[in-house]
A and B are shown apart, each in its own frame.
Chain A
Amino acid sequence: MNETNTGSITNFDYWKSAYAGRASNLSVSEVRALFAVVSRPEVVSLAGGMPDVSELPTEGINKAYESLLSTRRDLALQYGGGQGDAKLREQIVEIMALEGINGSAEDLVVTTGSQHGLDLIADLFIDQGDVVLLESPSYVGAVGIFRHKEAEMVHLHTDSEGLNPESLQQEISRLKAIGKKVKLLYLVPSFANPSGVTIPKHRREEILSICENEGVLIVEDNPYGQLYFDEVPPDAMRSMSEQHVVYLGSFSKILSPGLRVGYVLAPPAIREKLTLANESAILSPGMFGQMLVSEYLTVNDWKQQISNYRDIYKQKRDAAIEAIDKHLPGIETTRPKGGFFLWVTMPEGIDSKAMLPLAVSELVAYTPGTAFYGNGMGKNNLRVCFSHPSVERVSIGIQRLSTVINNQIELLKTFDAE
């Protein structure tokens, strides 16, 4: 008998055994591959939380760009400090004041988008197994960071008024009783991503009071607070406490995510560590992006620009709700008063992740609900983002989505696979 061929062996990852344990939390999925089609013009994407930057006036951007190059060109092309551009920080103080926050530019750290700010905070506070409390559902990017930091994510009961304070208290007590370290409560209190829900003032006060008593730091993420349609949301939680709230803000939704400029407002001790961590990771946030934002705020009527955005997104929200009411009358959805998102709850048994290929073939995309949980929940939910497509295409997208959902319901009934 001939000898068996031994063959060359490969798994295409020479360093597989060398990775840190937490690297196993980084994985590609089939869903991510499906999102590749979103860039095709035929597809109505209700998936990514993208602002409609086509509505930004070109003239205003040009003005900012020309002003920056003519006045501070060399600074913009140079390294900067780890805390961020001083002038921009002064302007951020003015923006935060719109949310009732009386902050100091000294307590601000500019970051490469607020996602980077959240990553730095998680790095500072989370050891493996520490508990992070989250809304149900919570922001997908936060879930990703906390998973990567090997936190134990605990989702709290959330209703039409957002996080339920009773649930918060019960869970903290339960977790502490079994010896867990409850470090952070991560919240998007205004027009949450993905639910669109806003926490009313009385609940904000209760949540703050519980966290103060229990020694849990609140991480308040507020990218959408200025994008209200019907009424101004309550003041930011940071306006109620300087010591117990770390506040994350962003220019990604009110201006442009391409510039990657966000910020963290934190008590001085935390701010100092964030600055050092920022320097350690990236030396300094990109000066060009920061200073372009700063010039934009200086030479343009940015408050009017945000107001224009409100009008545009309100029309899109209305189109989305109208289309859902018309085409998916039996389906439950949130009805946000601001922000970018609707949270859709479908009948039990529907798996929004498994349904996504069907949606792609119908030329519509959404984000499956499980992405917004750290524990596998949200199977029969999906997030609709109405901010980016035109009003007409939002309606078309929802109509296509209704075909997909109705087909899926029929299939599940056929195979009794619920």
Chain B
Amino acid sequence: MRVLILAGGISPERDVSLKSGRRLSDHLSEAGVENEIREPDELLIDYLATTKPDLVWSVLHGAGGEDGSIQRLLEMLGVAYVGANSENAKSVWNKATAKTLVQNQNIQTPAWIALPKNTFKQLNAKSVLDVVSKNIGFPLITKPIEGGSAQGVNKSETAKELGKSMVEAYAYCDEVLIEKFIGGTELAITVADFGKGLEALPAVEIIADSGKFGYEERYIPGETTFYAPARLDPRISQKASETALKAHEILGLGVFGRIDLVIDQNNQPWFLEASVIPGLTETSLAPQAFTAAGWTLGDAYKAIAESAISHQSRR
């Protein structure tokens, strides 16, 4: 099996992507899987067409990696790849669409509104945000509707903070999701198919020292404490796993994806967002889940790669 890892790209998450790519390459090599890392560039398509790798594992984050475009090209080239197909990736990449899809299948997700920047060209911003905050209620989370690694994500307690948070989120994307903040236990649940069907791996519980699981807290070792598996009553843990698995299936994330949830004070799970391309850096959530499930990372990645090839051949 020969795996081509796509990493880097031009998104604000380039650094994370390069780190993920190098870690993935190391672990695949440990498991005896031939692999190479490439950047998406003007030579990539020709390279894929001539070298025909058995599998592409893209860890390209941000637009171009998670928005379904690279997946669509790979489909046209007939190359197997890891993760959601192009259509599903495109849906999930938009956080509001993902929330709508899971909510329609009776999974709870915090109340939200998605506002394109252009909305504010026509309507008075203060009036719009007043209506939003009165209807949804503070505290509010603002996030770019696309993108990951918590870049541009903020929590606002007041109208003044909300205005500032909107500006910061629009720096990443032309549409911003505003959602109700739900306090509780933050969980990341990785769902993967190692060849025997999809399974939810042990939930990873996240406790950031600063109280906010932002960019620094995600990628600086020592800034966040993780519990894997999460410190949950098994019944609650089971419920969270079922919710994550269901969300993964609804969203069609393929052989590998991650669902972020919060368990509220009444022990109810809420869907926050899904990751089409989960990070694989040394501090990322998915590798912790694999380890907690008893896998070595090399074996886990190899099994996922084989599973992805097998799924492709059945398509």
* Chain A residue, CB-CB nearest to B234: A2
B235: interface (CB < 8 Å)? yes
Q: Which of B8-16, B30-38, B89-97 sits within the interface? A: B8-16
B 207-242 to A, binary, CB cutoff 8 A, 1 in contact else 0: 000000011100111111111111111110100000
Across-interface contacts of B12 in A (CB, < 8 A): 33-34, 37, 357, 360-361
B108: interface (CB < 8 Å)? no
Across-interface contacts of A355 in B (CB, < 8 A): 171
Give the residue of B120, B219, B225 whose beta carbon is less than 8 angstroms from that of A9. Answer: B225
A8: interface (CB < 8 Å)? yes
Across-interface contacts of A411 in B (CB, < 8 A): 117, 166-167, 170
B168: interface (CB < 8 Å)? yes
Give the Cβ gap from B144 to chain A, nearest Cβ, in Å. Answer: 9
A358: interface (CB < 8 Å)? yes
A 339-362 to B, binary, CB cutoff 8 A, 1 in contact else 0: 000000000000000111110110
B18: interface (CB < 8 Å)? yes
A residues 6-33 near B (Cβ < 8 Å) are: 6-13, 16, 27-30, 32-33
Across-interface contacts of B2 in A (CB, < 8 A): none
The reply to whether A12 and B283 form a contact with Cβ atoms under 8 Å apart is yes
Across-interface contacts of A363 in B (CB, < 8 A): 10
Across-interface contacts of B237 in A (CB, < 8 A): 5
Q: With the chains together, A6 CA to B221 CA distance in Å?
A: 21
Across-interface contacts of B121 in A (CB, < 8 A): 414
Name B's interface SS: mixed
Most chain B CB within a 10 A radius of its CB, from A10, A42, A354: A10
Across-interface contacts of A13 in B (CB, < 8 A): 221-222
B125: interface (CB < 8 Å)? yes
The reply to whether B171 and A354 form a contact with Cβ atoms under 8 Å apart is yes
Q: Do A7 and B283 form a contact, CB below 8 Å, given A37-B12, A412-B167?
A: no
The reply to whether B172 and A11 form a contact with Cβ atoms under 8 Å apart is no
Give the residue of A9, A11, A414, A415 whose beta carbon is less than 8 angstroms from that of B222. Answer: A11
B78: interface (CB < 8 Å)? no
Give the Cβ gap from A125 to chain B, nearest Cβ, in Å. Answer: 30
* Chain A residue, CB-CB nearest to B237: A5
A43: interface (CB < 8 Å)? yes
Please classify how large the interface on chain B is, using the bins under 10, 10 to 19, 20 to 34, 35 or more.
Answer: 35 or more
Q: With the chains together, A356 CA to B171 CA distance in Å?
A: 7
Please classify how large the interface on chain A is, using the bins under 10, 10 to 19, 20 to 34, 35 or more.
Answer: 35 or more
The reply to whether B163 and A416 form a contact with Cβ atoms under 8 Å apart is yes
Across-interface contacts of B288 in A (CB, < 8 A): 10
Q: With the chains together, A13 CA to B220 CA distance in Å?
A: 9
Most chain B CB within a 10 A radius of its CB, from A32, A358, A414, A417: A414
A1: interface (CB < 8 Å)? yes
B186: interface (CB < 8 Å)? no
Q: With the chains together, A355 CA to B221 CA distance in Å?
A: 26
A residues 394-416 near B (Cβ < 8 Å) are: 408, 411-412, 414-416
A36: interface (CB < 8 Å)? yes
Across-interface contacts of B216 in A (CB, < 8 A): 27-30
Q: With the chains together, A2 CA to B235 CA distance in Å?
A: 8
Give the residue of A5, A28, A361 whose beta carbon is less than 8 angstroms from that of B232. Answer: A5
Across-interface contacts of B225 in A (CB, < 8 A): 9-11
Across-interface contacts of A2 in B (CB, < 8 A): 233-235
The reply to whether B14 and A36 form a contact with Cβ atoms under 8 Å apart is yes
Across-interface contacts of B15 in A (CB, < 8 A): 32-33, 36
Give the residue of A3, A12, A37 whose beta carbon is less than 8 angstroms from that of B14. Answer: A37
Across-interface contacts of A4 in B (CB, < 8 A): 231-234
The reply to whether B167 and A40 form a contact with Cβ atoms under 8 Å apart is no
The reply to whether B227 and A7 form a contact with Cβ atoms under 8 Å apart is yes
The reply to whether A354 and B219 form a contact with Cβ atoms under 8 Å apart is no
Across-interface contacts of B224 in A (CB, < 8 A): 11-12
The reply to whether A357 and B231 form a contact with Cβ atoms under 8 Å apart is no
Give the residue of B171, B220, B235, B282 whose beta carbon is less than 8 angstroms from that of A357. Answer: B171
Give the Cβ gap from A74 to chain B, nearest Cβ, in Å. Answer: 37
The reply to whether A354 and B231 form a contact with Cβ atoms under 8 Å apart is no
Ordered by A's residue number, 21 sampled pairs between the chains whose C-beta atoms are within 8 Å are A1-B233, A4-B231, A4-B234, A5-B233, A7-B202, A7-B229, A7-B292, A9-B226, A10-B288, A11-B224, A11-B225, A13-B221, A33-B14, A33-B215, A36-B14, A357-B152, A411-B167, A415-B163, A415-B167, A417-B163, A417-B167
Q: Which residues does B use to contact A, with CB under 8 Å?
A: 8, 10-16, 18, 117, 120-121, 125-126, 129, 151-152, 160, 163-164, 166-168, 170-172, 202, 205, 214-216, 219-235, 237, 282-283, 288, 292
